[in-house]
Every structure is written in C-alpha cells, then in structure tokens.
Structure 1
Amino acid sequence: MRKIFSMVCITLFSLSCLFAAGTTEAKPAAAASSYGKVPAYLSIGTSPSGQAAYTMGAGIASVVNKANLGTTMSVEETGGFPVNVQLLMNEEIEFGIINNMMAEQVYSATGPYTKYEKGKVLSMMNMGAAEMHIIVPANSAIKTVYDFKGYRVGVGQPGGIVLDVTTMFLDALGYKADDFKRFDINLANQCSYMQDGQLDVVMWIGGAPLAAVSELIASKDVRFIEIDDEAIKKMQQKSSVIEKTTIAANAYPGQTKAVQTFCTRQVLVARDTVSNEAVYQVTKQMMENVKDLAAIHISMGSISPQTATLGLNASTPLHPGAARYYAEIGMDVAAITAK
C-alpha cells in the first residue's frame, strides 16, 4: 500500500505551508548506526479522512517530513484500527494508530488475532484516552449498566474497535445475546435513532467531547449512566489496559458532574521489523514538535513525558527505538520495553 492518495498530498502540502513561517531550521539527518537506517519511505495507517486518527496521522507525517531525515512519510487513509492491524501484519505499512486493547491482543495473538504471529506489533506512544459513553433518555427506567434487558442497545458498527469493546463489556456483565435488541450501528446513527425514539441506550467509546453526542444533547433531554467499580473490575479482568476514569464535568452541555466510566487509549504502534532508528526519529520528532502537532489536532497538545506511556504496560511493550528516546530524556521504561 504505497500509493499516496491525492487527498493526502493536498493535506500534507497545506500542512507544510502552515508551518513554513516561524519554525526553526530543520535538523540534519542522523548518521546511520547500529540502530539501522531510516528508510526512504514510511507510511502510517490511520482512519477514514475527516476522523481524528487521520488528522493525527497527517500531523505526525508533517513533522517527520520537515525534519530532513532522508525519508518521506505518507498518510494512508484506511477503514480504521482493525484494518491498520491487518496492514501492519501484512507489512504494507510501517506505523499505525490503533487501540491499546487491540495492541495487547495482537501482541499476544489472542482475541480476534489468534491467526497472527506473536510480538509483531510494538507500541510507541499514547495518543489520548477514549472514554466509554453510555447515554439514555432522561426519562428512561434504566439506572445502571445492569438494567439493559429488554431494551434496544447501540453497540457499534461491524468491523470497528467500538463493537469489540462494547461486546467485551456486555459479556463481562453477564449479558446473553437475547437479553436485549442490539443495534450494530455507528455513533451518528445511534444518536439519530435515540433522537427519534428508536433506541434506548447509546454505547460508544471515544475521546470526549464527541460531536454527535453534543448534537444529541442539544436536541434531546438525556443523561449519562455511570459505570460502577465492580463493573470496571470485571472489564479489567478481560483486559489489563482498561483504566478507571471519568468523563470530565462540563465536557458536554448541561453535564455539570463528572461521570465515572472506563477508558482505553489510542496508541501509535510500529511493526517489530521497522528499524530502531526510524522509530526513534519518529518518536523524537513528535515529542519535540508538540506545538506543531497541536495546531493540527488539539489532543496532541497533551503529548509529554508524563503522558507518552499512559495505558502501556508489559503486555503492550514499547518498540526499542521509542524506548531509546524515552530513556534519553530520563524516563524509566525498562519494565515496558520489548526484549
């Protein structure tokens, strides 16, 4: 998958123009070493154009291409995180943005990835939290996550990571296939169906605030369902990367109190065969050009030594090239680095 879509070309050209003024002179390429070389071409798998992962990928490619590393990084518009895993395993892309639950499963060849060889995809950086949202009409009889029986529940679209997470969560809670009527549809359709009275529960995992949820709240009186500690613990037994968190107060109009929930994280990953030098340089350019990244997608403005490895552990280990950069800036990452 080496072709660069015309849209990508336009995006990267626009980004280079954006950063042309007021930036420092690009650094010379690092000399080749025992860490390997930076290939002439690199690619990053993202998501459909217009979604957050695509925009993030465009930002990463922009700072890498500006650094005079002797490489050109292209952004691959893909069908989303599951497709990125396939492309990585098929060695059609070098980097990809996926979910850390997926990173854990593909690294250990478990869950839906048993057909793959273990240890072929390694983590590089946390790209931000994705919180589980559970929303019902304000007058609904549903009070907790244990009250879904007999209702119409949105669980995410086929082929997407959301469907994997919601299915795992509902299974952890002990629900059976016929306990409720499931709607395998995307977030926009879930919100539209709830607005029209055709859906009782919206379930979606993504970084708050989600535009479709904000639009739903603007047109219908709804409320969030909290996820209690016991339900979160059951989910954590399914996956070690699940974190207890909250949807911050005022993330949405009228939502004045924080909502307890759990989250996964979006992570940048690389194939294990990508040279240490290439991964090191991509990590370095991202960490040292956060302002440029934030100008493209606001969530990347939070990248820092304090956030870079959030949601990563020994089951989602770091690529040695990323670990090398983190160690250079004083981070202790030995326990979560691939051997």
Structure 2
Amino acid sequence: MGCGSTVSVPPGNTTRGFGVFCSGSESSLRECRRSYDLHPGLTVICSESVRLVGGAGFCSGRVEVKSNQSWASVCEADFDQQDAEVVCGELGCGAPAALQGGLYGEGEGQTWDKEFQCKGKESLLLDCDTSDRENNTCLPGNAVGLTCSEPDDVRLVGGGSRCAGGVEGYEQGEWWTVGAYWNKEDEAAVVCRQLGCGSTVSVLTGNTTLGVGVRCSGSESSLRECWRSYDLLPGFTVICSDLLVQPDIFLTDPMGGVFRGHQGPEMFRGYNFTITCSTQPQYPGGSFLLTFTGSNRTQTQPAVNHSAAFLFPAADDSHQGTYSCVYDNYVFSHNFSSESELLSLAITGN
C-alpha cells in the first residue's frame, strides 16, 4: 500500500474469508500462501508519514519521510534527539538508542528539504514545526539513521527469572497470555532473543486460553514482527539459557591487608583474605565454582543462603592472578550456569 511501517495490528473478529501466511519479506499479499477458511480478521495501522529503512527490524533504519507520494531521506543536520523521540513513539517503538548519519546507508530518492523542530511530545513527526534548512545541501553519508529500543511488549512470568516462565504480551494496554499455533520452538526462539536471554532450552505447552496468538518463522528480532491474532490457543512456557543472573564476586580481609591499587585490589603478603561469591535469591541450592587463572586451580562450595566464602591464609605470590565465580544450579530439569565479572588480585609488600 506504500503506507510506511507497521505501527500495530489490533486483533479482529473470527470470520470466514481469505487466510494468508506470509514471511514478511513479500512485496504483496499475492506472494503469500493463501486459503479460504475461518480466520481472525486483521486490522493494520501503518505509519503513513515516516518509516525506518534498512535496519534489522521496524524499529531501526534510515529515517525517511513521505513527501508528494514519494519517500525522502532526512539529513542528519535537520534531525535531533527530540525528533527521534517522536519517530520512535509514532512507530510504536521504545526510546531512541542510537542516532547517527550514514548508519543505514543513503536513500536512492530525494532528500527532505526542511529542518524538524519537534518538542518530543508530538504524536506524529509531521505534527512538528519545521523551518527552512540553513544550508541547502546534504552531503553524502549524512542521511540520518535511527535505532529505537525494542518496546517492552513481552515478558516471562512465574518462572523465578526474567528469562523463564509463561509468555505474556502487552496489547491494547493489557498483558495477555501469548499462544502459538504450531511450532512453539520458533516463537520461543524469538522470545529469548527479544529479551536478551540467550537461546531456548525448553518449551512447555500450557492451558488453552483467550489471548494473543503468534506465528513466527524463528528469525524475527521481536514478537511484533510475527503474524498475530486474537484467538483461543494453548499458552506456552519458555526456558531460556541465560536463566541465572550474573553472580557477584568481592574480596574481604579481617586484618586490613587489602588496599585499592591502580589496577585493582592489592594484598600484602602474609595476610589472610576471603573471596566471596553471591547471587540473587532466584532458586534454592546450587554451588559456586571459584576459578583462578594464576595456576588453573578451582574450588567448589555449595551455595548457602545464595553465597559461598573461600578463605585464603597467608597471601603469597601464588595467589596473584585473576579470579571468577561460576554459579551452577539444576532447575527445570536442566543444568544452568552463570559467571561473574573477573577479579584481578595483586600481591605486594615484603
């Protein structure tokens, strides 16, 4: 239709008509697989005035504005942070994350000849004030590219972690159970990717309920890019690989032999010290593995109250090196682990 980017796809009523199955890359519905059956109707709201082109999804790309039935690139000098906030909001995306000229290449058509002067609160980019461009040229490489953060429209609940639980989607001001039509592994892969939770470990089918149904190919960056409807479908629970939060590692000594050096903590020879590993109280049990690169030594202790303390008597040169805590736990019938940041310890003094 030449209507820019998709803003939202509100659910419609189920009725008899043409059903279409698209991957999203087709240039028209004629290229999609079609059937004649009972299907939920589809309402589409497009952005008629602005779009992002050349990015990984509809929330990133080169900013283009519709002008006289054609699309025009916007020069970096004519576009600022407040303009970006309006565009991201108009497209239903999150806050602007990156704004840079030439980030997504140059447009093949004309260049927008006005400077936008948005206040950041407008609902549409074309509602913003504009002024004539001071410099009438836009140099090559200066077409503005914009990356908006993905909207928080999916979450996992009831699993003790933001990376595990039943899938819910935010639609029309409410959280709904998300159901899948066929291959839930494809939808689960998209959920884990969108949440930054690694890869899928397992997918469990839940109860059938009225909610948002999704159909994904598995390559999408968010559920917003999948085909969606409002239907009676079985919900599903997703367990992602980055289930455990990152543990903490810190150094203490009861005798005051540690001090902060230029490169990190330093310990006087002969003093006792303790390295403590801890994690947030997500799940009971588990264990901590303390790794040490100085001699490839490792020590393991069970997690008691979600922490473990490793005592080192009489510090000497053999204790100098880099330490890290690895938290291991067996939950949801799988082994998971998460590693802390590195702690570099230097030994000094006579």
TM-score bracket, shorter-length normalisation: under 0.3
TM-score of the superposed pair, with normalisation by structure 1:
0.24
Larger relative strand fraction: 2
TM-score of the superposed pair, with normalisation by structure 2:
0.24
Larger radius of gyration: 2
